[in-house]
């Protein structure tokens, strides 16, 4: 089994989000078949949807021996370890882990779409992703992440100091 590279987005806006995100990266790093190769800084972003606290967001690059669906299930299990309760789209959450990219594959399964279907329109994903993977080519658009981030409004994404 060869290693693959994947990009994930991390987000939190309930509880101690900074601690949750740092601990989630630590859990990922200890997970068999996953090596955390790079991690962005954390960014504070306005929430989408109903009124709720701001999010902390970031991205990580993982080297993994796991197949995409297995990696997705690993991410969902880690979310649950941190008390994630799914209350519908755009609801507040203790931890959100999204599989954004996996090598250069395009996958359209009922339970998993790669690349993540909304990543190219989300500054809170593209800004941290461009920090750790500016040259990664998003396989549907054929554009590098550094190019995609220039096409979105990044004004609501502030580096956490």
Residues noted as catalytic:
84, 93, 96, 98
How much of the chain is helix, strand and coil, in % rounded to 5?
30, 30, 40
- Quick one: CA dihedral 103, 126, 21, 112, positive or negative? negative
Report the distance separating Cα 90 and Cα 97, nearest Å: 13
> C-alpha 12: how far from its chain's center?
11
CA dihedral 55, 60, 66, 68 (to 10 degrees): 60
3-state secondary structure (DSSP) of residue 138: strand
DSSP SS3 for 139: coil
């Amino acid at each position: 089994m060869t290693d693959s590279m994947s990009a994930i987005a991390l987000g939190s806006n309930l509880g101690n989000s900074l601690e949750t995100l740092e601990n989630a990266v630590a859990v990922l790093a200890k997970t068999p078949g996953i090596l955390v190769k790079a991690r962005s800084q954390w960014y504070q972003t306005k929430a989408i949807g109903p009124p709720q606290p701001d999010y902390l967001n970031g991205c990580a690059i993982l080297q993994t021996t796991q197949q995409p669906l297995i990696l997705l299930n690993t991410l969902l299990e880690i979310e649950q370890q941190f008390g994630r309760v799914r209350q519908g789209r755009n609801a507040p959450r203790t931890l959100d882990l999204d599989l954004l990219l996996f090598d250069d594959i395009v996958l359209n399964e009922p339970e998993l779409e790669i690349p993540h279907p909304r990543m190219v329109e989300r500054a809170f994903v593209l800004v941290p992703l461009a920090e750790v993977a500016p040259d990664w080519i998003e396989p549907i658009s054929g554009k590098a992440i550094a190019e995609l981030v220039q096409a979105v409004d990044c004004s609501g994404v502030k580096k956490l100091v």
